Structures are given as C-alpha cells and as structure tokens.
Amino acid sequence: MRKVMEKQLKIGQVDIPNIQIDLNSRDEIPQVLLGLQAIYSDRRVRNEVFSILHKVVPENIDSSNGRPGMCLWKILVLGTLRLNCNWDYDKLREIANNHKNIREFLGHTINEFDQRYALQTLKDNISLFAPEVLDQISRVVVKAGHKLVNHNHEGLTGRCDSFVMETDVHYPTDINLLWDAIRKVIELIGQECEQLGITEWRQNQHILRKIKKLFNRSRKLKRSNSKDKQKRAAKKQQIVEAHQEYIGLVEQYIKRARISLATLNELAIGNIARIMLIEHFIGHAKRQIDQIRRRVVKDEKILHSEKTFSIFEPQTEWISKGKAGVPQELGLKVCIIEDQYGFILHHHVMENQTDDQIAVAMVTKAKQKFSALNRCSFDKGFHSPKNQEDLQRLLDNVVLPRKGKLSLKAKEIEHSEGFIEARRKHSAVESAINALENHALDRCPDHGITGFKRYVALGVLARNIQILGARIQQKALRRLMRRKKSENPYRLAV
C-alpha cells in the first residue's frame, strides 16, 4: 500500500504552506524547500504533480491492504534534496532524521523522535521514479516558474549546449579490466560453492592474491626509452613475459570455473542468476585476454570500437572535448536547453551521439513541451547544413554559427548586430552547466544506464525547483525591504 501523501494532518503537524523557512539563508536547502512549498501551495500545480506521482503506484492495487510504503511526496522531497545538495545516502539519512524543516516537509511532528529513516529504505525508495515521471514533473515546475516570472507572456529564448557527466569508474586499461572480471568470477563462484557446501573454491582469497601479484607486476613495467636497441628489446621481452604469465594464470582459473559451472548445471543446483552473472564476467575476461595478447604479444593496435571502458558500467564512453587540461572524460554527454529565466526546458542523455545529430530533436521536443520557444542559440558543434535548414523551419530566430569559411550571405548573417548579441548571451548556458555539475551532475554514483538517466532527470528537476525557490525568495526579500522602507522611510537614508 503506497500513497502519494497522507490527506489527514496529525496532531502537532504543520501544514506545508505554513512552514516557516529562513528567507535570509544563502544555502540551497531553503531555496529547494521554497520551491517545493510553492508547488504544494498552488492547488492546480499540486494536483498535476500528484497525478503524475500516482502513476508510480501499480494498477489494480488495493490501497487498504498491505504494509504502508513511503509516501511518494516524501520520496520527491528527499530525492530532490539529495541531488540538489549533492549528498550521498548517509548524509541524506542524517538530514532526514534530524533537520527540523525537512522533517516538517516529510509530515513529521516535533514529537515524533522514534520515526527514523533507514539507509536501505532511502536507497530503495528514491530509485522508484522513472526518468519519464521526473521529466513530466519538471515540465509542470517550469510552467509554474514561467507563470511567476514571465508576466508579459514573452516568447522563450533557449540556449543549447552539452557537457560530460562522468560514470563512477576507474581509468580503464586492458589489464585492470581483466583483473576486475576475474576478481568477480572468483568471488561469485566462491560464494556459490560456500552456500552449497562445496570446498573446491575455499581458497578463493588466496587465488585472488596470486593473480593480483602478477597483475601488479605487469602494471608496473614500462617500456624503455633507452637509445640502446638491446636494452629496449630486453625490456619489451620482460613486459611480454609478465603479461603472458598474468593471462596464463587467469586462463587456468577460467577453465577451472567453467568445469565447476558445468558440474553445477549437471546436478541442477545453484543460483541461476548468480551462475549467469559468472558467465557474463567470464565473457569479459576472455575478451580482455584476447586484447592483451594482441596488443602486447603480437604488437597490434586495438581499434577504439573494440574497446570496453568498464565492465560494471558498459554505457561508459571515452569522450575528448578538447578542453584544456582535460584530455578525456569517461561517461556520457548530456545536452540541455536553458531558457532566459534559468529553467532547464529539456535534457537528453546522448548515447553514442554527437551534438550535430541531436540539435533538431532537442528543439522539437522542447517545443512540444513549451510552444512559446521561438529562439534558440547553439555553438559550432551543433552545425550541419541540414540542421540550419530544419531549425529555420522550427524557430523564428536561429543562432547557429557555421564551421569553416563563410559565404557572403552567411558572413552577413553572423556579423549582424542581433546575431552577435545572441552569441554573447549564449555563454550564459555555461553557468547553467556549471550549476548542474556543482549540484551533483558531475559524476553519477548510480548504476546502469537506467540509473544514469534517472539521476540526470532528478538532477534537472531539483535544479528547476531550486530556481523556482530562488525566484520566490528574491521576491519575498524585495517585499520585506519595501515594507521596512515604508514603515521607516528615513532608516535607509541614515
């Protein structure tokens, strides 16, 4: 049984619109809480958000039966705080159990000291929201923000750019990827045999130490830079022998693991999911052995398309954007469109895509959400002749610089006053990207492509809620300042 929110207030509980939030605080927590308070206080917006949250509840569920799950409003509050404040789950648990204002937003009274949140409870519940659900809520939040700040109903001006969000992986080399794979094979098969009372892999930790020793030896050997050909050849031979010894030992234990798995299959015993996972990591190990043998022994070059950059996060890409001091980044690119008020209109996780491949799709989907979008600026990476034509049909004003030598017509367009002014304003999107990276979207700790997309969607939603709260905070502070000035007009002049 899971509800969006408890309708009946408890004795001593403060209703969310009446919770007092410190307007003078410069921290992000009050801004997020002000944004959440604005969503809840506006009945139309609240009903829209609650109807979206209700989709998370499975159909044909009797709400009067079963154990009560965490309310979906609580999950939304905790999820947005986790992303916006860039907390891990331990920090989130501590704040949820002890922060007065946050506990009021979660529906607790000051006397409910015994109602605490367990770490695993937070992990399990915050992962319930699908990226599509979070994207729908973000759209409602942005529309509420536009209603607050866009009094003249002006058209929306977008700024589109992409950035790299890293996955939680180490730097990949073929030998350490092989170590990752064989380590998981031996650990998992050791656990399986231990549960079944089989003693064949009882020395699995000793086996791992043997392999790790050879791995470290291979890792530390470097090619010689000596001018003496004999010294270089001797060093190369030493490297080849170390790698052959390393992969030879790994192959022995892969064969042994396959024999054990065959025995388990014949006897029809064992955890099928774990056995399939062992087979999965054996496949990774065999691929890495082949690549090490080709690279080190046969002196071949491994094509980029053949390489895997993480066996745990297979969606990871090797991205080189040409930034100073950052030769490469390991993760996925995320493209965003920000409007002139700072709200993120649309975002997209790019899987094996380049900027020019998604420019039209970004604008199309953003216009489906916000029809008032009539202008958008890009950088040169989004240019292609087809994009120039397609975007002109979608928008009234397109600011998309061309690559290479300009024709007379293109030069006239790009040297016009309006184009130059729009290009100057386009750099503001870098500030939005930097804010997103500071608020958790620099590195994703969640696993898998679904976890990655959910993390990005929750980060964008949290950022939009914070911007809404910041606008409300600024408006309230200006109102207080005017009130003080009217009460004592000479006070500010002294």
**Residue 64 banded pLDDT, cuts 50, 70, 90:** low
Is residue 58's pLDDT more than 90?
no
Region at 156 (left for phi over 0; alpha for psi -120 to 50; beta for the rest): beta
Is residue 378's pLDDT more than 50?
yes
- What residues pair up with 377 in beta bridges, in sequence order? 159, 399
Q: CA separation (Å) from 158 to 145, 207, 343? A: 15, 57, 10
Output the 3-class SS for 123-159.
HHHHCCCCHHHHHHHHHHHHHHHHHHHCCCCCCEEEE
CB atoms within 10 A of CB 210: 12
pLDDT of residue 4: 81
Is residue 494's pLDDT more than 50?
no
**Residue 1 banded pLDDT, cuts 50, 70, 90:** low
Domain chopping of the chain, boundaries: 16-129, 155-169+315-446, 174-306
Question: Position of tokens 């058209």?
Answer: 155
Q: Using only C-alpha atoms, what is the Rg of the chain? A: 28
8 A C-beta contact, residue 379 and residue 398: no
**Residue 142 banded pLDDT, cuts 50, 70, 90:** very high
pLDDT of residue 310: 94
Query: What kind and span of H or E run contains 166?
Result: strand 156-167
8 A C-beta contact, residue 92 and residue 470: no
8 A C-beta contact, residue 117 and residue 444: no
Longest CA–CA separation in the chain, Å? 92
**Averaged pLDDT of the chain:** 90
Is residue 63's pLDDT more than 70?
no
Residues 323-334 have pLDDT tens digits of 777 788 999 999
Beta strand pairing call for 317-319 and 344-350: unpaired
CB atoms within 10 A of CB 11: 6
Q: What are phi and psi of 368, to 5 degrees?
A: -65, -35
For the segment 450-479, the average pLDDT, to the nearest whole number, is: 94
How far apart CA 427 and CA 379 sit, in angstroms, is: 9
Nearest C-alpha neighbor of 135 from the set 461, 467, 468 = 461
The first and second tokens of residue 49, run together, are 């958000």
What is the secondary structure of 203-262 as a DSSP string? Answer: THHHHHHHHHHHHHHHHH------S-HHHHHHHHHHHHHHHHHHHHHHHHHHHHHHHHHH
Coil, strand or helix: which one is 333? Answer: strand
Residues 178-200 have pLDDT tens digits of 999 999 999 999 998 888 888 88
How far apart CA 158 and CA 264 sit, in angstroms, is: 59
How far apart CA 460 and CA 457 sit, in angstroms, is: 5
How far apart CA 474 and CA 472 sit, in angstroms, is: 6
The first and second tokens of residue 275, run together, are 């056995």
Contact residues for 146 (Cβ-Cβ < 8 A; gap 6+): 156, 341, 343, 370
How far apart CA 96 and CA 77 sit, in angstroms, is: 10
Nearest C-alpha neighbor of 157 from the set 11, 13, 318, 341 = 341
For the segment 409-431, the average pLDDT, to the nearest whole number, is: 87
8 A C-beta contact, residue 214 and residue 249: yes
Q: Which of the four CATH numbers 3.30.420, 3.40.50, 3.40.1350, 1.10.20 does domain 155-169+315-446 have?
A: 3.30.420
The first and second tokens of residue 278, run together, are 């062992």
Question: Position of tokens 């699908």?
Answer: 130
The first and second tokens of residue 70, run together, are 């965490």
Coil, strand or helix: which one is 95? Answer: helix
CATH code that applies to domain 174-306: 1.10.132
Residues 80-106 have pLDDT tens digits of 999 999 999 999 999 999 999 999 999
Query: What kind and span of H or E run contains 334?
Result: strand 329-339
How far apart CA 277 and CA 271 sit, in angstroms, is: 10
Q: Tell me the CB-side half-sphere exposure of residue 372, using CA atoms within 13 A.
A: 14
pLDDT of residue 60: 66
pLDDT of residue 49: 94
What is the secondary structure of 265-317 as a DSSP string? Answer: HHHT-S-HHHHHHHHHHHHHHHHHHHHHIIIIIS-PPPPGGG--S-SS-TT-E
Question: Position of tokens 């109903």?
Answer: 153
8 A C-beta contact, residue 353 and residue 209: no
155-169+315-446 matches 174-306 in fold: no
| Model confidence, pTM | 0.90
AA identity, residue 365:
K
Identity of the highest mean pLDDT range in 8-22, 299-313, 400-414? 299-313
